[in-house]
Amino acid sequence: MVTPQDTRPLARCRAHTSPMELPPTSLKGKMPRPYSEIPGNWKTSWFNLYFFWKDGGFHNVHSMMVRNFQQFGPIYREKLGIYESINIIDPEDAAVLFKHEGLARWDGGLGRGPESDRLVLNKEALSLQTIDNFVPLLNEVGEDFVKRVYIQIRSSAHGRWTADLTNELFRFALESVCNVLYGTRLGLLQDFIDPENQQFIDAITLMFHSTSPMLYIPPGLLRRINSKTWQNHVKAWDTIFQHADKCIQNMYRDLRLNRKSAKEYMGILSRLLLQDKLPIENIKASITEMMAGGVDTTSITLQWAMYELARAPAMQEQLRSEVFAAKAASQGDVLKMVKSVPLLKAAIKEVLRLHPVAVTIQRYTTQEIVLQNYLIPAKTLVQVGTYAMGRDPRFFTKPELFNPERWLSEDSRHFRGLSFGFGPRQCLGRRIAELEMYLFLIHMLANFKIEMKRGVEVGTTFDLILIPDKPIHLTLRPLDSHPRAKEEFPSASGAR
In the annotated binding site for heme, the residues are 427
Q: What is the DSSP letter of 13?
A: -
* Dist CA 130 CA 169 (whole Å): 26
Q: Please state, in angstroms and rounded to a whole number, the distance separating the CA atoms of residues 458 and 29.
A: 46
Q: How many CB atoms lie within 10 A of CB 379?
A: 10
Crossing angle of helices 166-182 and 296-311, in 10° steps, is 130
Separation CA 338–CA 315 (nearest Å): 18
All residues at 6 or more sequence positions from 89 whose CB lies less than 8 Å from its CB, including other chains: 69, 74, 75, 384, 385, 388, 389, 392
Helices 342-354 and 296-311: crossing angle in degrees, nearest 10, is 100
Q: Which residues are annotated as a binding site?
A: 427
Give the separation between CA 281 and CA 314, rounded to whole angstroms: 49
In angstroms, the Cα distances linking 28 to 107, 155, 166 are 36, 65, 48
Closest of 280, 300, 292, 309 to residue 241, by C-alpha: 292
The helix/strand count (H/E) of the chain reads as 20, 14
| CA atoms within 13 Å, Cβ hemisphere of 212 | 21
